[in-house]
Structure 1
Amino acid sequence: MKADPKAEAAPAAGGGKKKLVIIIIAVLVLVLGGGGAAAYFMMKGGADAEHDEEPVKHEKKKKKKKAEGPPVYVPVEAFTVNLQPEEGEQYLQLAFTLQVPSAEQEEAIKSNMPKVRSRILLLLSSKKASEINTPEGKQQLAKDILVQVNEPFADGDEEQEVAEVLFTSFIIQ
């Protein structure tokens, strides 16, 4: 008869687990629903504020757009270049992605990709392996690429707004 108390205890424990799972699911639904509603109202409020500011100068709106929304990433096709000779011939194979603040900047970069690639190719081919082989050298190279990419594409144009250079492949042979 010892089996009877265990048999009665097992269903009670199982029922408690079901209640716990239901409570957890309900809490998750409330949290996610609340977060979604907050995001909706924040985005809707931002859209209303943007319409209210229409008479404001274009420059101010442009600066505001920089801070809004998630960053946009622009992958750049891999480069293979000869490095400046030190110990015989050495090559660099490099791939990276550019982080820009908006789709407008993404389009500006993509439509001028031949200029971007030319600038980067000239920069990379001027480097020695010893200059870019260390973590500090890679960080400096990223800064140098950033300067080159942010230069205006034509006289009188504004600078690009590339925020970061993210290396995705870096091989020196």
Structure 2
Amino acid sequence: MAKSSTSSGKKWLLVVLLMVFVSSATAAGVYLLMDTGSQAQAADNTEPEPITAPDPIFVKIDPFTVNISGGDYGNRFLYIGLTLQVDDETTRDLLVNHMPQVRSRMLMLFADQSVEELTSPDGKTRLSDQVMSLFDTPLTEPQPELAISDVLFTDFIVQ
């Protein structure tokens, strides 16, 4: 009987060890799942990185003084300063390198204006569109596509 009692004790010891092992494995699994969940929750709770707008790129064009037709009042003049907002450095460099051509085109455009056109409610908007259309004709061959996004008037006097 001593033999059956020893084999029965070994069985019980094996069952107890197996239960301790299964309990430990279950506890470790639950701990890892809980830890992963808290890390995911912590990642969700972190504030997203703020979106920063790129710095604008401007090309300043020196002011012009141009004679314009004044209708009943004879010749008048326009004093105009403007800046072009561009989207990339390539466009900026191209405009700066070809500034005499840019200024010449603008001078011809401004000299062709009349007082009535420039002082009307949408005259400046129309003039801005005309300035943008000046760049439809290439400044050089071959020319990359120009990325001009806005015409900003910095000075505008009709006298």
Structure 1-normalised TM-score? 0.59
* Poorly superposed stretches of 4+, deviation over 3 Å: none
Say which is worse superposed, 93-102 or 144-153, in terms of deviation: 144-153
- Helix, strand or coil: the match of 2:75? coil
1:138 aligned residue: 124
Q: More deviation in 141-150 or 71-80?
A: 141-150
1:96-130 per-residue CA deviation (whole Å, 9 max, x = no partner) reads 11000012211111111000000000000011010
1:114, 1:171 → 2: CA distance? 23
Q: 1:73 and 2:58 equivalent?
A: yes
CA distance in 2 between counterparts of 1:119 and 1:113 reads 10
More deviation in 83-92 or 151-160?
151-160
Q: Post-superposition shift, 1:150?
A: 4.8
Tell me if the contact between 1:150 and 1:162 (Cα under 8 Å) persists in the aligned partners: no
Partner of 1:84: 69
> Are 1:101 and 2:87 an aligned pair?
yes
Tell me whether 1:127 sits opposite 2:85 in the alignment. Answer: no
Q: Helix, strand or coil for the counterpart of 1:83?
A: strand
| Residue 131 to residue 146, structure 1, CA distance change in 2 (3 Å) | same
RMSD: 2.3
Tell me the TM-score normalised to structure 2 length: 0.63
Q: Which amino acid is the alignment partner of residue 79 of structure 1? A: F
Structure 1 residue 95 displacement after superposition: 0.3
**Count of matched residue pairs:** 113
Computing the radius of gyration over CA atoms, which structure comes out larger, 1 or 2? 2
Alpha-carbon distance, 1:69 to partner: 2.9
Q: 1:94 to 1:144 in 2, by over 3 A?
A: same
Contact 1:97 1:168 (C-alpha < 8 Å) held by counterparts: yes
Q: Distance in 1 between matches of 2:133 and 2:61?
A: 16
> Would the alpha carbon gap of residues 107 and 98 (structure 1) be closer, same or farther in structure 2, given more than 3 Å must change?
same
Q: Which has the higher strand share?
A: 2
Between the two structures, name the one with larger relative contact order (CA 8 Å, sep ≥ 6): 2
User: How many Å separate the matches in 1 of 2:138 and 2:144?
Assistant: 6
- Equivalent-residue separation in structure 2 for 1:79 and 1:110 (angstroms): 17
Alpha-carbon distance, 1:89 to partner: 1.2
Identical counterparts, % of pairs: 30
